[in-house]
Amino acid sequence: MKKLINAAEDVVAEALQGMERAHPELKINHELKVIVRGDAPVSGKVGIISGGGSGHEPMHGGFVGKGMLDAACPGEVFTSPTPDQMLEATKAVDGGAGVLHIVKNYTGDVLNFEMAAELAAADGIDVEAVVIDDDVAVQDSSFTAGRRGVGATVLAEKICGAAAEAGKSLAEVKELCERVNANGRSMGMALTSCTVPAAGKPTFELGDDEMEIGIGIHGEPGRERRPVASAAEVAKLLVEPILADLPYAEGEKALVFVNSMGGTPLIELYIIYNEVAKILAEHGVEIARNLIGPYITSLEMQGCSVTLLKLDDEMTGLWDAAVETPGLRWGA
């Protein structure tokens, strides 16, 4: 294992220390590992928190700030944070208008956020939760843990953060979050595995001439393993299942999010985006907005994911609204 770390067990703590030095506008609770926006709680504003295993940076800590998250709870690498962290975050951001938990659909995250919501409710805080499950690689059925939460999480955090900033109520922000989830679909792929620092070796094996289609952001194997193919072919393998799952009528608008799994450079993301745009043009889908870069990563994994969000005017306006976070920043 080659990594720029000091000790595997200190990875999350030392990254938080670095983040604090780089972003003095954030408040960081090192003991409980909670990243909070500097001016929290904002009186009268719905608080939004999220959290999940570390290793997906900038998600979620990099999305804390005005116009997005009020707080984030990082767990150990690829491990859900714990209810005591989430409770602390919930209390820290409660400005009297309630708190929304944005939860990615993984068993650990869901169980821990459920316990945190029970604890917060016992403390008299109005908490709602939305579980994001946008990964079309997973068959959705009542006999499994259901679809995973991936790329749509980033979009939901941005759009809901803007709505909360604009003074929307907890019920309205929750409904909006559910709408983003219902209209967002993602599919990812990997060219290489990734290594969890504490494990010391790659999470899975992938041959030099192989790729995994439908990969999860923790290196969970996906739908199928096949020989490495061209960017044009990969784009097709990612976009077609999304469109099959949520068809677009002629002229409907999409936000296209091409994301790096961590190890894939921007130049390759643009090649993928170019191919995605061609496919969408064939289907008559208008690309109204885009986001390209590493935003929901899987350590150093090479690969990418594509998320399509079917936009309405409200979502588009909220996407364009000002955001000031370490990971996303515009209009401020």
> Among 80-88, 183-191, 230-238, 251-259, which window interacts with other proteins (CB under 8 A)?
80-88
C-beta of residue 195 within 8 angstroms of C-beta of residue 299: yes
Looking only at residues 98 through 117 of this chain, which bind other proteins when binding is defined by CB under 8 A?
Answer: 106-108, 111-112, 114-115
Q: Which is nearer to other proteins, 108 or 293 (CB)?
A: 108
Which of 30, 101, 218, 283 is an active site residue?
218
Site membership for other proteins, residue 144 (CB under 8 A) = yes
Which of 23, 56, 60, 101 is an active site residue?
56
- Binding map of other proteins across residues 173-202, x = CB under 8 A, - = no contact: -----------------------x-xx---
Interface with other proteins (CB under 8 A), residue from 15, 126, 178, 221 = 221
- Smallest distance, other proteins to C-beta of residue 137, A: 8
> Among 93-101, 139-147, 183-191, 247-255, which window interacts with other proteins (CB under 8 A)?
139-147
Judge whether 283 counts as a catalytic residue.
no
- Smallest distance, other proteins to C-beta of residue 55, A: 10
Site membership for other proteins, residue 149 (CB under 8 A) = no
Site membership for other proteins, residue 300 (CB under 8 A) = no
Judge whether 56 counts as a catalytic residue.
yes
Q: Which is nearer to other proteins, 77 or 92 (CB)?
A: 77
Interface with other proteins (CB under 8 A), residue from 45, 56, 71, 76 = 76
Site membership for other proteins, residue 216 (CB under 8 A) = yes
Site membership for other proteins, residue 218 (CB under 8 A) = yes
Catalytic residues: 56, 218
